[in-house]
Amino acid sequence: MVVRPERARTAGPQPGTVAQSELAEGLAQLVADGLRPQQRLRALRSLGEAWWRQHRDVAHLTSSGAEVLASAVSRLPIREREALRARYGADAERAAGQLVDEAATLAGWVWTATAVIPAPARAVHIIKVLVHSAVEIRLVAELYAIYGAGDTPRDPAWLNLVVSAWAADRPMAAGAPVGVGIHNIIDKLRQAHTGLADRGSRLTTLRHRGRAGTEAVRRLGWRFRRRMRSHPSTWASAAGEPAAAAAIAALRDVVRARPGASPEVPAGPPTRHLSQAWSHHLQARAAAGVAGPAGDPAVLARLEAALGHQEQHLRWLGTKLRRPRPPAAGPELPASGTDPVRSAHTCAGLADDAIDLVEEAGSRPRRLPGWPVRLRNGLVYAVVALALAVPAGLLIATGSGDPAGPARIAVLVLSAAGVSLVAYGLGLFFTGRLFRPWLGGRVARAPVAGLAIAVTTAALTLASLTAVGGAG
């Protein structure tokens, strides 16, 4: 079932309202189910062309895009729990996993399709960010439908909760008195405009089939999925005091943190954050054990399931980082007079915060993590090219014959080409070995810049040594 809250009726269309409504409707239709790839591509191209015709000034595209996205939220085809169960089954974990995979695939398709839109690159990027954001908002809303309370009314307040969670990059407690405004969406879109920038060309995006967009949505989906397992919205409605405290804490988090801001990861290896995550997890286990005899069975069942998934994820991270599970001796028990269920949820949330830091730090390379990708990889290409070009240049410089003769120039050109190709290949190999992330995965590369650095370094080194040898 599609959520379509009733729209406000006005006396007559105002200037720009009809065009904005059409853009919002087209944006919402792009993330709907049942469309064939050809239909999505035509709809995306029509949206891009209409968007560029209406907003020629790129400087105003972000603010107007936020208005269109806010208008499109009420039109997004968000399915309810019954529809999700009918498609994915009653198992919440399996349904959430398939939901994240489908959203990630759709985001990759969006990134690929935007590469063929006939519009300026800056406008294409903003269109890509808008559609990508719509995919993420729909994913967050349907994860709420899977993990949240079943009796939550699907009204504009619920949509505000979903968009607030998307903007804050973390789930919000149901019932929290928070809202979202255009300025929040603008801030989020500005950050997405930088964070979702594709460093390669349109041809690179087509070749990789929008892999960067796929990975971005998958990371967001996994993060929300992990946090919603033990989210305060899963508490029983009778537990009024913990739910109210969680709502106040969620509101305080939104006020304190800028929407969409990623956690600042301190320098250092991710193993330090993993130790903190284990410590908070064991505290949550201890608090859940204390709450067992007198707690609500439904709430405790959800909490135990969430802690089980959290421990499994921590063990996986420990395997990747070669850091085994610490001993469970001596966990801190909640103080007397403190609600153990509330303490368990708080500690589980702190463990999730530490896991976010582990994954953020683990996605960085072990060496030179703070350097830009081009500078980090360019250093390797330059060193390899220099190491190969110096011996070759010395051999050419000490050879017989006229330094300016055709034969010597031909040897110099062929040597520069050969050294450049070998340096480029070795540079690819060494960047993969030296700068692999802590948790594995794709190594960030700069092949075009690497080739240019290899060719330039080899040519200049060979020419300089040949000229010095000829002068001597």
Three-class SS of the chain: CCCCCCCCCCCCCCCCHHHHHHHHHHHHHHCCCCCCHHHHHHHHHHHHHHHHHHCCCHHHHHHHHHHHHHHHHCCCCCCCHHHHHHHHCCCHHHHHHHHHHHHHHHHHHHHHHHCCCCCCHHHHHHHHHHHHHHHHHHHHHHHHHHHCCCCCCCCHHHHHHHHHHHHHCCCCCCCCCCCCCHHHHHHHHHHHHHHCCCCCCHHHHHHHCCHHHHHHHHHHHHHHHHHHCCCHHHCCCCCHHHHHHHHHHHHHHHHHCCCCCCCCCCCCCHHHHHHHHHHHHHHHHHHHHHHCCCCCHHHHHHHHHHHHHHHHHHHHHHHHHCCCCCCCCCCCCCCCCCCHHHHHHHHHHHHHHHHHHHHHHHCCECCCCCCCHHHHHHHHHHHHHHHHHHHHHHHHHCCCCCCCCHHHHHHHHHHHHHHHHHHHHHHHHHHHHHCCECCCCCCCCCHHHHHHHHHHHHHHHHHHHHHHHHHC
pLDDT (tens place) for every residue of the chain, 472 residues total: 344 443 333 334 343 444 556 667 777 777 777 677 777 777 777 776 666 666 544 445 556 667 777 778 878 888 888 888 888 888 888 888 999 999 998 888 888 877 777 667 777 777 888 888 889 999 998 998 888 765 566 777 778 888 888 887 878 766 554 555 666 677 777 777 777 766 666 666 666 677 888 888 998 898 888 888 766 554 543 333 343 344 334 434 433 343 333 445 555 688 888 988 998 888 888 888 877 666 677 778 888 888 888 888 899 999 888 888 776 655 566 555 567 777 888 888 888 888 888 988 888 888 888 888 888 999 999 999 999 888 888 877 776 555 555 656 776 777 788 888 999 999 999 998 899 888 887 788 888 888 899 999 988 888 888 777 655 5
Q: What is the largest CA-CA distance in the chain?
A: 95
Q: What φ, ψ does residue 437 adopt, rounded to 5°? A: -60, 160
- Give pLDDT, residue 403: 53
Distance, CA of 147 to CA of 155 (rounded, Å): 18
- Give pLDDT, residue 261: 39
Q: What φ, ψ does residue 100 adopt, rounded to 5°? A: -65, -40
Domain ranges of the chain: 17-256, 270-362, 373-471
Check: CB of residue 1 under 8 Å from CB of residue 83. Answer: yes
Distance, CA of 346 to CA of 281 (rounded, Å): 10
Look-up: residue for tokens 């070998």? 422
- Give pLDDT, residue 152: 64
